[in-house]
Amino acid sequence: MTQTVTGAVTETMRRLVGDSDLRMIGVTIGGVYLIATLLAIAAGYDVGGIVNTLRAITVFAAGYGMLVLALNLHWGYTGLFNIGVAGFMAIGTYVTAILSAPPELSPGAGLGLPIPIAVLGGMLAAAIAGVLTALPALKMRADYLAIVTVALSEIIRLSIKSQTLAEVSVAGVTVGTGGGRGISYPAPSDAASWLIELVPGGTVLYPAGAAVGIARPVVTGLVYMLILVAFTAAFYWLLVQIGQSPFGRVLKAIREDELVASALGKDTRIFKLKVFAVGCALMGLGGYLWLGRSGFVNDLSFRPDITFFVFVALIIGGAGSNTGSVLGGIIFSGVLFYLPQFISQNFVRAARAPDTFVEALSGDLAGYLVANISALRFVAIGVLLVWLMQRRPEGILGHRMEAAAAIDLRGGRAGGSDDD
Amino acid sequence: MTTDGAPLRVDSLRMEFGGITAVDGTSFVVEDGTLTGLIGPNGAGKSTTFNCITGVYTPTAGHVYFQGEEITGLAPHQIARRGLVRTFQIARELEEMTVFENMMLAPQHQRGESLIASVVPGLRAAVVTEERGLRAEVWETLEFFEIDHLAHEYAGNLSGGQRKLLELARALMTDPEMLLLDEPLAGVNPTLEKKLLERIHALRAEGYTFLLVEHDMEVIMENCARVIVMHQGQVLAEGAPAEIKEDEAVIDAYLGEPI
Amino acid sequence: MGVASRVGHLRRRLPALSGEVLVTLVVIALLGDLLRRLVVGIIGGPYLASVLIEGITIGLAYGLAGIGLSMTYSILSFANFAHGDTMTIGAMSGWSVAYLIGGIGTATVGELVLLDANPGLSITASFGVILVGVIAAGGLTAGLTVLVDRLVYRPMRRADGIPLLIASIGVALAFRYLAAFFYGTDVMGITQPSGKLALLRVDGTTGIGVLTATQSGSELVTSGDVAGFIAITSTAAPTGTILSVTLHSVVLIVVASILMLAVHLLLQRTKMGKAMRAMADNKPLAQVTGIPTERVIRLTWIIGGALAGIAGFLIVLKSGTVSFNFGWRILLFIFAAVILGGIGSVYGAIAGGLVIGIVDSVAIVWLPSGLTKVAAFAVLILVLIVRPEGIFRGVTTA
């Protein structure tokens, strides 16, 4: 029964959207926008509020998109079960933060380097961490690798939280993670106002926004949103380049049957190390640009839960497919994450909702449910995950195996036209 | 020490697993440009020897030389790189990749296997050119094996016999010096068997060297110029099929089995 | 040749034991340093003893929980990431029952079930109630895990380890946030402080006795003040406590030990136990020889679930508080225990649990308190790299 329902839904989707990846993404985000707008109107938001809501959703989607793409490189392409995503995000963000933070403790202290250098430093640190993780784990079974990466992710988080590293003197310079208090550093989101002022005529955006009811901080927020989306697109481009190449071919082969890849002369260990490094660098960058966008993070920003959410998003979209990764990111962050939260925050008369479940049973059960939708959505996600594993482990697009070659393999037959 | 003209030389190979000695002092030579067969009853140590040669196991003692150089204990990919390529007994097709992708995977030293070359826009152009060249080669090879009509099928959808053809075709794309075929005819219907053997002979005529490990005695006797018989971890006899058929020791070993 | 192939080459040439040898040397060095500190006086004997007892106590809990994880890992061939949250459910449901029975009259039924009250339970005040709670925790969790197996894992019997692992992550999320939905996300105080079993000196005599929750060792006057005092020897040192352990911890130690013994007897003496061992050892062979696999699987879930629930209940008893994600937060420790001991080995889980508990506790000698967990996780990672089959050479099934 569920088979036919899923089949029908997929068919309708396919007819609506055709086979264009861009259209699929567009339709999905459009759908989320629509639902969000309707809800926002129902909640009594004005234009500025609606725009801000859509902005927040897009930021979420872009952030998840970047991370899911990075994880797709590891898990979807190469079959490396890395569930330490949060840890690598943390390393990338924290190293960038420390490199760019001003030397005064505020909390946490840094070297005050220019941001682009700090970003490269963060990505490099994450990549190195990835290599160090992968080296001993090259021959490990998938589930052992999973456990190792989770353990490592926790070690990283605990180290960040610990007071020992809150303040460290290295060669006369004091740097620190800030321990439990976190670290402050120049906010990536400031890049938006910098960009607006840099581009000639950019500042016209402010009065233009005001005219429509969009406040100034929202305007800068929108510009930063576009920056994030641009980065997500860049991640997507990079992954397509990697996937559709001989390098990507070997990755696929490693995922399918590593023994065959080595029997054909490929040094699979080098490939795994490289892919781990690149993926972790991307995770580090994504962490900084998205979770670290406000210029402050602490250990709570990188709890292991984040890794599992990224994982769920990847599975929903379809591991192995880049477009699927983006779709999964949008659906998870928008439908499963943001919207329930939005409903809960805007449609609950907080004073009247029952405090506990037992009270709710004799009183306003619906009110309790809505007030606690935060918890319920995770229950739903858990159930969804089980359902996916049982019925459709390939997610939405995972079955679509994008050919791993730099050219269209269907062309070039003697007598046919050479079309690439 | 090299023996010119003998691409593969196995010298006093020994392989122990815990308390069991699967291979006990095996030595043989495979001559250049021949179709050599390696046979023996179950448990003779053929697979173990095979795996020792191809780097899956590191032998407990003894040496393996390929084209005069020692390859004992090297990793499988290193051995394949040198031109000694194996196929698998149960065809290991990369199922979620198409036949074409399987084939494009095989060639060695592909420019695009470097991450930088595949990604950086300027360098990628060279990769694209190389891919076009490989694509043409793949068509040629698929046509030679008469499986070109399956080019864009997922390897997982192929029949057993078709997989065997793909297995051999793919191995060929690595541009090997010598091919080690692990029971290439196991479970293959007679028509396909004939086709496979024709291809193998054609390739041998082009200069490839083959070592066939097979269970089917008849096939080996009819097709191989030289036969090596293993029994209980050791080489029992070596020589032309006619000699082997008359060999007392071999007959004893195969007591009850048709020769 | 790149770094990795050189590493691989090295690995091939060096004896396989070198990793284990290195680890053994490090362990010996650490033990030596511990001894040195003891002898020189940097740390006191009683302090070390109390740290060890703490480690053993929590280690037994890890071991108890680990038994179930180890069995499902080997018999069903997947890493059950829902095991920690199973402990949470067991703890919370068990304590709800205890509250319901022990708190009659102190609050409404609703408040009691949701642990929203304070009926003042402690082992001395409400021994029977807590016992009922233990049994309830075991029974309810066992029932829940069997239900989950029916709904989630049985339809996936033929699946690989990784899809099962991912499904268990889904189960973990569902458990954890159902707990959050019903009980809320705050940390809840559960028990009253209990008395302590202490080794102490009073009035010139060293002995063992039971102090109440409010009694302080140094304020005692005569040995009559101490309940159940058993004199050991006379002493000139001043009155005071040398070493103590809370009665709740004692309950944990006793109950865990009894249950472990029971599991041992089950596995060695009963037919089903033998069947379980056979399946853990070699599943295909077991199936071929006519062992009722579905029954064995169900029993595995029942035992594993019950033990997890009881372990969770006892941990809460000992620590005095509970929150909706406490099980999730100790999941890695349970994994560490199981892998260290060897997947599929019940005794390995117990031994592994003790080691992990002790490592986590004793690490305080060298590491700041925020980083002691790192020691336990480092052990887990090391084991997976150097000797993934664990101490007792468990099954390395896929």
- Comparing A3-12, A148-157, A392-401, C316-325, the range with the smallest average pLDDT is A3-12
The three-state secondary structure class of C209 is strand
Same domain, B218 and B179: yes
State residue C348 phi and psi, 5-degree precision.
-60, -40
The residues facing B234 across adjacent strands are: B231
- Averaged pLDDT for residues A290-305: 88
Same domain, B187 and B60: yes
Q: Please name the fold of domain A11-391.
A: ABC transporter involved in vitamin B12 uptake, BtuC (1.10.3470)
State the pLDDT at residue A414: 54
Instruction: Please report residues of A whose CB lies closer than 8 A to that of B94.
Output: 252-253, 256-257, 260
State the pLDDT at residue A6: 62
pLDDT, tens only, A158-209: 888 887 777 777 666 667 777 778 888 888 888 888 888 888 888 888 888 8
Band (pLDDT 50/70/90 cuts) for residue A66 is very high
Write out residues 198-257 of B within 8 Å (CB-CB) of A.
Answer: none
The residues facing B180 across adjacent strands are: B86, B211
Domain boundaries along the sequence of chain C: 3-36, 43-191+248-386, 196-246
DSSP string, B5-42: T-SEEEEEEEEEETTEEEEEEEEEEE-TT-EEEEE-ST
Residue B101 touches chain A, beta carbons under 8 Å: yes
Cα–Cα distance, A102 to A191 (Å, whole number): 17
Task: Tell if the CB–CB gap between B73 and C8 is shorter than 8 Å.
Answer: no
State the pLDDT at residue A417: 41
Cα–Cα distance, B49 to B230 (Å, whole number): 10
pLDDT, tens only, A357-398: 767 776 677 777 777 788 888 999 999 999 999 998 888 887
Cα–Cα distance, A258 to A248 (Å, whole number): 14
Query: How do beta strands B35-39 and B226-231 pair?
Result: parallel
Give me chain A's average pLDDT, please. 85
Same domain, B66 and B171: yes
Task: Tell if the CB–CB gap between A140 and C388 is shorter than 8 Å.
Answer: yes
Instruction: Please report residues of C whose CB lies closer than 8 A to that of A356.
Output: 110-111, 114, 116, 184
Residue A390 touches chain C, beta carbons under 8 Å: yes
Give the gap in angstroms from C-alpha A244 to the nearest C-alpha of chain C. Answer: 24
Same domain, B177 and B74: yes
Segments of chain C with pLDDT less than 70: 1-17, 123-125, 393-398
Cα–Cα distance, C290 to C279 (Å, whole number): 11
Give the count of Cβ contacts less than 8 A between chain B and C.
Answer: 6
State the pLDDT at residue A67: 96
* Residue at which a domain ends, from B110, B128, B157: B157
Same domain, B89 and B171: yes
Query: Using CB atoms, which residue from A249, A401, A412 is nearest to B105?
Result: A249
Same domain, B57 and B102: no
- Averaged pLDDT for residues A89-104: 88
Distances (CA, A) of B115 to A92, A264, A411: 21, 18, 24
3-state percent helix, strand, coil for chain B, nearest multiple of 5: 40, 25, 35
Q: Which of C171, C384, C387, C395 would you mutate first to test chain A, the one with the most A CBs within 10 A?
A: C384
CA closest to A394 among chain C residues: C163
The CA dihedral of C329, C333, C339, C345, to the nearest 10 degrees, is -100
Q: Are B135 and A407 spatial neighbours (Cβ–Cβ below 8 Å)? A: yes
pLDDT, tens only, A241-270: 999 999 999 999 999 889 899 999 999 999
State the pLDDT at residue A108: 65
Distances (CA, A) of A127 to A100, A124, A346, B186: 18, 5, 41, 46
CATH of the domain at B16: 3.40.50.300
- Any domain includes B125: yes
- Any domain includes B258: no
Instruction: Please report residues of C whose CB lies closer than 8 A to that of B76.
Output: none
DSSP tally for chain B: helices H, then strands E: 10, 10
- Into how many domains does chain B fold? 2
DSSP C370: G
State the pLDDT at residue A105: 61
State residue C395 phi and psi, 5-degree precision.
-75, 135
- Averaged pLDDT for residues A89-94: 94
Same domain, B53 and B126: no
Segments of chain B with pLDDT less than 50: 1-3
Neighbours of chain A (3+ CB pairs under 8 A): B, C
Give buried/exposed letters for B34-72 (b at 16+ CB in 10 A, else e): bbbbbbbbeebbbbbbbbbbbbbbebeebbbbbbeeebb
Cα–Cα distance, B31 to B50 (Å, whole number): 17
Q: Are C325 and C68 spatial neighbours (Cβ–Cβ below 8 Å)? A: no
The residues facing B237 across adjacent strands are: B229
Query: How do beta strands B84-86 and B69-70 pair?
Result: unpaired
**Helices A115-137 & A85-100 angle (0-180, nearest 10):** 150
Structural domain boundaries enclosing B36: 8-93+167-253
Beta strands in chain C (DSSP E): 188-189, 196-202, 205-211, 227-234, 240-246, 321-322
Give the gap in angstroms from C-alpha C312 to the nearest C-alpha of chain A. Answer: 21
- Overall size of chain B counted in residues: 259
Instruction: Please report residues of B whose CB lies closer than 8 A to that of A405.
Output: 100-101, 104, 131
Band (pLDDT 50/70/90 cuts) for residue A72 is very high
Same domain, B81 and B148: no
Q: What sign results for the dihedral spanned by CA atoms C356, C360, C366, C371? A: positive
* Residue at which a domain ends, from B157, B181, B200: B157
Cα–Cα distance, C182 to C170 (Å, whole number): 18
Same domain, B220 and B241: yes
CATH class of the domain comprising C43-191+248-386: mainly alpha
Give the gap in angstroms from C-alpha C15 to the nearest C-alpha of chain B. Answer: 13
pTM to 2 decimal places: 0.88
CA closest to C170 among chain A residues: A382
The three-state secondary structure class of A213 is coil
Distances (CA, A) of A205 to A52, A211, A216, C208: 15, 10, 9, 79
State residue B16 phi and psi, 5-degree precision.
-115, 135
